[in-house]
Amino acid sequence: MTNVQTQQPDQTFRLRTYKKNELAMMYFPDVSKDAASRNFRRWIRQCPPMQKELRAIGYDKNRQYLLKAEVEIIVRHLGEPY
């Protein structure tokens, strides 16, 4: 009998620059990338205080990447993913 160890991916969240769909998949890991992105955008739209903070630092909803400062705001409002 062999002892097979399953190695789990690192589930520790790091505050850094992320692609939007990458961060969306962290919040919605069990759905497709498109569905995760739609849900993530909806969460941002439905949180006016977060939107206000993001706009204040120059958030561009069309940019593919989220800057570290933007991720910090998102995590403060939504909590850490996973």
How would residue 9 be classed by pLDDT, with cut points 50, 70 and 90?
A: low
CA atoms within 13 A on the CB side of 18: 20
The pTM assigned to this predicted structure is: 0.83
Tokens (6 digits) for 75: 């995590």
Q: What pLDDT shows up at residue 12?
A: 85
Tell me which amino acid residue 3 is: N
Whether pLDDT at 57 is above 90: yes
Give the distance between the most distant pair of CA atoms in the chain. 60
Whether pLDDT at 14 is above 70: yes
Tokens (6 digits) for 24: 């969306």
Are the C-beta atoms of 17 and 71 separated by less than 8 Å? yes
**Which of 31, 59, 57 shows the shortest CA–CA distance to 45?**
59
